Structure 1
Amino acid sequence: MIVNINGAPHEVADGMTVAQAVRTLTAATTGVAVALNDEVVIRSAWETTALSDSDRVEVLTAVQGG
């Protein structure tokens, strides 16, 4: 199936979860937020939230600067 992750199409396995999608983009375990089809997904739901064809996933990571 095809899902859009951060605006780019990705072919992923059926049943891929939000947590798996996040791990394809970053190894960070903190400072990460996810929206699925414009709705925030709380971290405790990442492992159980399955993606569907044509879903839009936005993975945001916190960046420090000065």
Structure 2
Amino acid sequence: MNIQLNGHPRDIPDGATVTQLIELLGYAGKRIAVERNGEIVPKSQHGITSLNVDDKLEIVVAVGGG
């Protein structure tokens, strides 16, 4: 199924959850923020939030520095 990820089309498995997408992208264990269709998805909801065709996601990875 197709979604928009950070402004670009992306094909993901049907019925994928936010957690599965994070793992697919290699972000598991990293500090990230996820927005789906204009609303923040709390980390506690990642595993139960299913993605749908044409969802628009923004994923931001926190980067440490100094």
What TM-score do you get using the length of structure 2 for normalisation? Answer: 0.87
1:16 aligns with 2:16: yes
Number of equivalent positions: 66
Q: 1:23-51 CA distances to partner (integer Å, 9 max, x unpaired)?
A: 22233414111000110000011011000
Q: Which consecutive unaligned segments of at least 5 residues does structure 2 have?
A: none
Counterpart Cα distance in 2 of 1:58 and 1:26: 15
Segment drifting more, 7-16 vs 44-53: 7-16
Q: Which consecutive unaligned segments of at least 5 residues does structure 1 have?
A: none
Counterpart Cα distance in 2 of 1:10 and 1:4: 6
Superposition CA RMSD, Å: 1.3
| 1:1-66 correspondence to structure 2 within 5 Å | 1-66=1-66
What TM-score do you get using the length of structure 1 for normalisation? Answer: 0.87
Counterpart Cα distance in 1 of 2:62 and 2:26: 12
Segment drifting more, 36-45 vs 16-25: 16-25
